[in-house]
Chain A
Amino acid sequence: MGYTIEPAMWIVPLKNSWAFPVIEAAHLSGVALLAGTILFTDLRRLGLGVARQPGEELDRVFKPWAHSGLAILLATGAVMWFADWGRYRRNPAFGVKMALAVPALISYFVPRRHKAIAIVSLVLWTAVVLAARAIADFDI
């Protein structure tokens, strides 16, 4: 590597403290908010009978929850990355997750009126969550 990243020194000790599981739990609640609302919007879009409301109404009501979830995910995710960046750089599951998270986020901001986009979004977000959970299993 021709460069090094120096994380702020106050953040590194977090990885061995009680704060780390607390931040991870907050990250999980972000998953419940963002992935949960996306899941049900997509299922509604596919007409799978999970909601009677029109898709546009679900979008409108879910939006503040989904965006709070995204903000929580980005903030807690960044803290975890800076606290233990060496671990995440070596972890193949983390690489897969981030590579999937980019198109998943793009599919979230694309208008999901088309059923094909709803299917792509469902597959991508499911894969992101599975890869994220797998980070714990692929520490090398």
Chain B
Amino acid sequence: MLLSLAQWVHSTAFSAALAGSTWAYPVIGGLHVLGIAWFGGAVLLSALRRRDREARPRPAILWIGGTIMFLTGALLFATEPLLCAASQSFRVKMLLLVTLAATSQVRSKIAIPLTLTLWAGVLLAARGIAFF
């Protein structure tokens, strides 16, 4: 399924234009990493809000970081679809992201350690795409 999706994306002119561009990959990759910084700061900020009952939480902050990472991530995939499809790390990362989405509504004591562990796994697997 992932392979056929990758092959289809690879066949599009958009993917070819991204892959042929000198600056697209470095710029999009840079924005993707800036999204990680935004997300890290936003997570700490929303934790602070939860403690301070007076301040109404503003989840938009998290959504902005998440949207930056999702959009730039999709563009990175479009630049190198076949490399991603061939990478075990990419599959692990996608599975972890699906798990994160599936467990996002869990409300219990283990929710925070579970989420943090899953995000740490996402980061590790993401870095691994360049290697494995």
Contact = CB atoms under 8 A, between A and B. Distances in A.
B33 interface: yes
Interface residues of B, number: 33
A30 to B, nearest CB: 9
B33 A31 contact: yes
Contacts of A53: 48, 52, 55
Given A28-B36, A53-B55, A36 B41 contact: yes
A36 B39 contact: yes
Interface secondary structure of A, over-half rule: helix
A81 to B, nearest CB: 17
Interface in B104-126: 120, 123-124, 126
Interface in B21-51: 25-26, 29-30, 32-34, 36-45, 48
A74 to B, nearest CB: 17
A65 B42 CA distance: 13
A93 B127 CA distance: 19
Contacts of B127: 21-22, 24-25, 28
A24 B61 CA distance: 26
B34 A130 contact: yes
Contact of B45 (A20, A32, A40, A133): A40
A37 B44 contact: yes
A50 interface: yes
B29 A22 contact: no
30 contacts: A18-B131, A20-B131, A21-B127, A21-B128, A25-B124, A25-B127, A28-B123, A29-B40, A31-B40, A32-B36, A32-B37, A32-B40, A35-B34, A35-B37, A36-B38, A36-B40, A36-B44, A37-B40, A38-B41, A40-B42, A51-B48, A58-B45, A61-B44, A65-B44, A129-B30, A129-B33, A133-B33, A136-B130, A137-B25, A137-B26
Given A25-B126, A130-B34, A132-B33, 20 more contacts: A21-B131, A25-B127, A29-B120, A31-B37, A32-B37, A33-B44, A35-B37, A37-B40, A39-B38, A39-B41, A53-B48, A53-B55, A58-B48, A65-B44, A129-B30, A129-B34, A133-B26, A134-B30, A136-B130, A137-B26
